[in-house]
Structure 1
Amino acid sequence: MRNSPRWSNGSVNCRLEWRPSRLLQAVLILLGALGAVSILTSEMPRPIAWPAGAFALGYGLWLSRKEGRKSPLVFWFPGDERAPSVDGVPMCAVCLRWRGPLAFLRWRERAGGRWRHAAWWPDTLPASRRRELRLAAGGGDAGRHRRDRAP
């Protein structure tokens, strides 16, 4: 058939850049402010409530700034039997988890054996790139609705 789609058997390669999420930074500031407001509206004695509220707000601002200062990372998922890599360094024990539009990646460094992690928020990973990551990373969750398919 002339107009039928061409299906590819090739593996899916995926190159992603991780950068700090501005949405996450805003949420951290908001949580710090809400924590300060909740402390000030509680029945805590005022001499303790004001410093605790200021600490909650300051801690939210500090976490937001810390998140914003993280350096960008480049991930490569080859889609075949080769190991994925981050900034050219192969990763071990890669675990990709999904929570709605959020993607959480956890891996172990080969050199030091230290665990590292990255999270993509909707403002840093659009839907098309989420699908690409889901296919390249494998793990069996690329097609979430297994019962809808024929055996």
Structure 2
Amino acid sequence: MQIFPLLLQLSLLLFSIALSIYLWTIHYIITTIVFSPTGLGSLLYARMVISAVLSPDSPFQTSLSFFLKAVFKKSSIPKMWYQQFRGYWTDLLIPLHTTYTVFSQYWTSFTRAATQIAFMLPLCHTAEPLEPNIPIFSPPAPSPEIAAAI
């Protein structure tokens, strides 16, 4: 039963990749719009799984992380490699933290500027509806044909 969420996530990833490849043949700008969230989601998911494998206290435990923990326990990967990978991971946290800091400063300045110019934007709501209520389904018009006799 624990493999079903993993299969669902894999199918979502394959669908996103196939959609990006298909859209590349149509227009490359649309592809970047679709591929950006796909790539970001894949990176965040990979980070979540790696943090769950490296830290037993991680709240992001998934079925994939349990599987990878079992594989790493039974495999012949030396402890030195594991510690070296863990060292790379801690070295990667510094640029990730810097990126987060820059993004949070950008977001703060963006929201500050947006709130300063918000009063200049026109109001898009009114007390009265813009158009009268139009029924979705109108009564059928009488048919010029004669009904068939039963």
TM-score, structure 1 normalization? 0.26
Larger Rg: 2
Structure scoring higher RCO (CA < 8 A, sep ≥ 6) equals 1
Of Structure 1 and Structure 2, the greater helix share is in 2
